[in-house]
Every structure is written in structure tokens, then in C-alpha cells.
Amino acid sequence: MKSLLPWRRAGVFLCLAFAGAVAAHAQALQFKWGHVYEPTSIFHQQAELAARKIAEQSEGKIRIEVVPSSKLGQEGDYPLMLANDSMQIAYVGQATLAEGYPPLSLGSYPFAFKDLDHMRKYLASPLLAELMKGYNEKSGNRMVASVYYGARQVTSAKPLARPEDFRDLRLYVPAAAAYQLFATAVDAKPVTLPFMSLYGSLKKSEVEAQENPLDIVKSKKLYEVQKYVLLTAHVYDTLGIVIGKAAWGKLTPQQQAMVEKVLVETAKWTNVGVIAGELEDEKFLRDKGMTVSPANRQLFQERVVRRSTPEQLGARPGDYARLQALVN
């Protein structure tokens, strides 16, 4: 009988080790990070990079699965999904976030930014920090970083140059009010549909044109179903990286600080990549046979300001003036 004791001890130790491993795995927080972009996009790459860094720095206690291509739902559903913990992290466009916290619409107001440098100053400004704080307090979720999404441009099946060319044009725009404003200001017919359906709808001519950053035109291969690009840059757009209230509450203060730091740092990496990529994307689309033309932005801006003010869209009084003062 004594000869069996070492084996019994070994078995006990193995069971304890296995139980410990199971307990450690069970204690690991499992988060899902959803977004609507393709796996080849820089936004998916950033999410994967951040997930790896967070797993490493948390010693495996925080594990993030990145789910691309609208597999968890459409962007308009994300704020609610974050709130009810069916998704823990998401990229959400600022115009979509503004549906729940209207002051954030400031950055989505068409032609609010004079150029890319103006946008970069906004990303680093106390004004944006205030708006992010206001969103967090209102929603209960936690927007930890803003990422430059790109300048929104118009692609079409026929050449466009002036606002008059847009009359009755079936133009895809997201559902958020700021995007709808651009379409109605030029008398187009705004069409909203699931992002994943955009390619097919353009191919079948259910919509004639769409507006998105050039990276989206490239990654979703819209150059196969559109012939022209008009460089309106009507919105220099951003995405919020948002963590749901319940998920944020599951993190210790030290984990919260680490996660926020990683997401802010990788957001900066993404900003550089998006900015560098915009010129490359333009060349890529030209090489694919698209005709790329500059727009007279002033003509389009005049149309927008006749239809709406930033305050009517939801901006706080005085914020638009503060935004314009960043240029000086």
C-alpha cells in the first residue's frame, strides 16, 4: 500500500494544478470588441494590436476578441449593446455617439474643419476632452480615445462637380443626423442601409453614390462599382473607442489605467497610419481607374450653412467658435 502513496500524491498535485489553471482561466475577463470594418482595415489592425498588448500587460487576465465586419450588429446598435453588456468594446462614429449625446455632433457638422491640421488640433484639444467627459457622464459608457477615421469623400457612378449635380441623386449616407444634413443640403435623396450591404446596393444601382473616407472605398472594393471620386472632405471624421459601463466596472483601477493607456497609444499609431494612408489611397484608386477630382468646398459649405447651424444639430453654444479658434 505504501508504494502507491507517491502516485496518489502526484495525482493530487496534478488535480490541484489543473483546478488552479481552470480557476485562473475562469477569472480572466473575456471582452468582445465589435466594429463594422474589414479585417484588412487599419482599425481592425489597431484593435488586434491593442488586444495583444492588454493581454500581455494584464498577464492574461483580460482577453479581448475582436469581431469585424458587422458580425455583432450594425454601428447604430452599438451604444445600446455596450450599455447592456452584450458587447464590451466598440468603435463608434462620433456622429452616431452624438445621437445619444448631441454636443458631440460638433465634429460631424459638415465643413466644420478647414483642413486636416485643424482636425489634428481638435483631437488634442481640451474642447474634445470636455465633450468626451460629457458623453461618459451622460451615457455611463467610457469613451477612452478618439481615432481619426478619415476625410469623407463622395464616390459616384457619374461625374459630379457642383452641388446642383446632386439633385435627386440616390446618395448612401449613414443614419446619423450630421450625415443626413450633407445629403439634404445638396438636394440629394439620402439612402440609409446596412453598411455590409453597400457594395451590393451600388452594384445593383439601388444607390448611385456614397460618401466615406477613401480607405473604406479601398477596403470594401467600391472602386469596382463606382467610377468617380469628388474630394469634398465635407467631414473630417473620427471614431470613439468606447467601453461599456459594465465592462469598465469589472476592471480594477490599475487595469482601467492600463487599458486606457494602451488604447490611447494605439489610437495615436492609427491616426498616423490613416493620415499617411489617405494619399496612398488616392493613388491606389486612380490606378484602379477611378477619376479623382477636387471639389470647390465653399460652394458646398454655403449650401450647408443655409440649411442648419451647429447648434441646431446639437452643439453647445460657443463650441463652434472655440473649434474655429483652434486654427489661429
3-state SS assignment for residue 154: strand
pLDDT, residue 11, reads 53
Residue range 199-245, pLDDT digits in tens: 999 999 999 999 999 999 999 999 999 999 999 999 999 999 999 99
Taking only Cα atoms into account, the Rg of the chain, rounded to an integer number of angstroms, comes to 23
Q: Judging by beta carbons within 10 Å of its beta carbon (0-12, 13-18, 19+), is residue 301 exposed, middle or buried?
A: middle
| Nearest alpha carbon to residue 92 among 27, 52, 141 | 141
pLDDT at position 43 over 70: yes
Which domains, and CATH codes, for the chain?
30-325 (3.40.190.170)
pLDDT, residue 1, reads 47
- Quickly count: other Cβ atoms within 10 Å of residue 86's Cβ: 16
The DSSP element (H or E) to which 328 belongs, if any, is none
Q: What are phi and psi of 167, to 5 degrees?
A: -55, 125
Please name the residue that has the C-alpha cell 486606457. Answer: 260
- Confirm if 260 and 144 have CB atoms less than 8 A apart: yes
Residue range 93-129, pLDDT digits in tens: 999 999 999 999 999 999 999 999 999 999 999 999 9
pLDDT, residue 27, reads 83
Residue range 173-193, pLDDT digits in tens: 999 999 999 999 999 999 999
Please name the residue that has the C-alpha cell 463594422. Answer: 36
Ordered strands of the 209-212 beta sheet: 189-191, 170-172, 209-212, 153-156, 228-231, 291-294
pTM of the model: 0.90
Q: What's the per-residue H, E or C state across 13-64?
A: HHHHHHHHHHHHHHHCEEEEEECCCCCCCHHHHHHHHHHHHHHHHCCCCEEE
| Nearest alpha carbon to residue 297 among 237, 235, 226, 210 | 235
